[in-house]
Amino acid sequence: MCDSSESQEQLEFNRKARSLYKVMDYIQASGMKCSEDMVKSICDGNLINFNGIAPRLNAPTQTEAVARETEMDQNKILYSAKLDENMRRSDYFETNKRTVKSNIMLKFVTKAMDIKLQGEANFTTTLEDPIELLKRIEQFMKKSADAENDFLEANQNFFAMKQGTTENLMHFKERFLRQAEVLQYLYGVAWFRDFAIKTKAYAAIASTDTAAQNKFKDDIFEAVLATGFLCNCDQTRTAPLMLDLQTNYCR
């Protein structure tokens, strides 16, 4: 059984929306060179192996001696350029790994989580890998005996959220999106895609149109956000827009 401080720490972690999306947003906005390689690694759940994607020197295909020699020279130039680029990306990647790991600890975990992570035997070895660090954080989150309460609270906070009578729309939007991020973090992307499959709108898509089906599933979280945002706004102010949407898009 987890103690109350652990549960509170995890709830705090969720409230601050320490999701992979936030980490990736930070990386993209940080200005670090070759940041796209780190973002891809986080998306894939594994670090890029630059040795595995190192370029190879292509053998010439020409049979005539002069043409063959010319082609080989061109292949060497191309190979050298690609090798330099691969090494450049690899060097930045090693630097970026350390930077991202440090910033996850500084910006994306609470003090209680920091203590847990630094207490791990492999904190200075395996967890130097920022991907493994994020996975370990997720493991801690899922171990909570109060995880069900986290889901209940997140659901209540999201679906019961209303715009205050004097609250401006932009402030409510930011508050709404923060809570939506918590919900998405807890449920995961797969849950929303499964939800999409059960909707009437998805059933109306031709079974042979896989592109449309995939797009619908990809866009479902945004659709949930848009619907929830409109419904939870102060409807004395959004009623004309909702009426227009119902008139034009509802059956």
pTM above 0.75, yes or no: no
Q: Are the CB atoms for 228 and 158 separated by under 8 Å?
A: yes
pLDDT band at 247 (very low <50, low <70, confident <90, very high): low
DSSP 250: -
pLDDT band at 58 (very low <50, low <70, confident <90, very high): very high
Please indicate whether residue 64 or residue 29 has the higher confidence score (pLDDT): 64
- As a whole number of angstroms, the distance between CA 95 and CA 193 comes to 35
For the chain, what is the mean pLDDT?
79
pLDDT at 191: 80
- As a whole number of angstroms, the distance between CA 201 and CA 196 comes to 8
- As a whole number of angstroms, the distance between CA 131 and CA 224 comes to 29
DSSP 108: S
Structure confidence by residue, pLDDT tens digits, 98-111: 999 988 888 777 77
